[in-house]
Amino acid sequence: MTVLVQGLDVALGGRRVLKGVSLDVPAGSWTAVIGPNGAGKSTLLRAVLGLVPSKGEVTVAGVDLGKLKPRQRARMIAYTPQSPNLPVGMTVFDYTLLGRSPYIPHLGREGARDRAVTAEVLDRLDLTAFAARRLGHLSGGERQRVVLARALAQQTPVLLLDEPTAALDIGHQQQVMELIDRLRLSDELTVVTTIHDLTLAGQYADRLVLISGGRVAVAGEPAQVLTRSAVEEHFDARVRVTPGAGGRPVLSLERP
């Protein structure tokens, strides 16, 4: 489903963090939000979710998110934070089952369908063997997949992933990104991720949105956004940009 953000303003503690940010994320596409530290990338995702007060309009498939009840919204958008809280004693199954919360009556308990969806998601992410494992006993890569599993159990058309590859080695980064891409294609999900690694963002996303100083600086296809001058201007970094497979840009640092 298309995600449309129009004129989003966010002020935190009196400081304007986002200033009139607009995004257009076509249904079924992958948009990566990039930008230097403190640019407001995470705040943008949190504002779309309604976790921080904001001005502006956010619609998903034409539905104004601000007018939805929290449970209805949680059936439209799933979110994984940059550093999720993982209760160490909880099992992988129970943690994934939390994703069914928007479907379970407030004081009720989960039904057979919720358990079935949870088991199916675990199966798809190759986590079935981990179902009884406690979260405190997982490696970084496993943890990231489990957090993704919880988001998928929400069965939402839109996924907002805040730095899904943070703290992963290059192999696990690739695994997680491939996994997200496959799920996006098979389930026709609309994916928005923030991501630090510009080359990684350029390899996987259909569109990049560069946020700098709380505003959208550039948006478009990876090759249009990831230019030597844009990276120098907004990240204060000197890089060489070379076209890789499919024209997607590959960045390498240049020593001054």
Q: Which long-range contacts (CB under 8 A, 24 or more apart) does 85-88 make?
A: 86/135, 86/136, 86/138, 86/143, 86/146, 86/147, 87/135, 88/134, 88/135, 88/136
Is 30 a binder of another protein (CB under 8 A)? no
Is 246 a binder of another protein (CB under 8 A)? no
| Beta carbon nearer to another protein, 88 or 253 | 88
Residue 128, judged by CB atoms within 10 A of its CB (0-12, 13-18, 19+), counts as: middle
**Smallest distance from the beta carbon of 69 to another protein, in angstroms?**
8
CA distances (Å), 85 to each of 81, 127, 137, 169, in order?
9, 19, 14, 20
How far is it, in rounded angstroms, from Cα 10 to Cα 129? 43
Q: Which residues does 163 contact at the CB level (< 8 Å), separation at least 6? A: 42, 82, 193, 194, 195, 196
| Beta carbon nearer to another protein, 72 or 224 | 72
**Smallest distance from the beta carbon of 44 to another protein, in angstroms?**
15
Q: What x-and-dash track marks residues 31-50 binding another protein by CB under 8 A?
A: ---------------x--xx
Q: What x-and-dash track marks residues 135-174 binding another protein by CB under 8 A?
A: -xx-x-xx--x--------x----------------xx--
Is 86 a binder of another protein (CB under 8 A)? yes
Residue ranges that bind another protein, judged by CB under 8 A: 46, 49-51, 69-75, 77-79, 81, 84-95, 97-99, 101-102, 104, 106-110, 115, 119, 123-126, 129-134, 136-137, 139, 141-142, 145, 154, 171-172, 175, 178-179, 182, 186
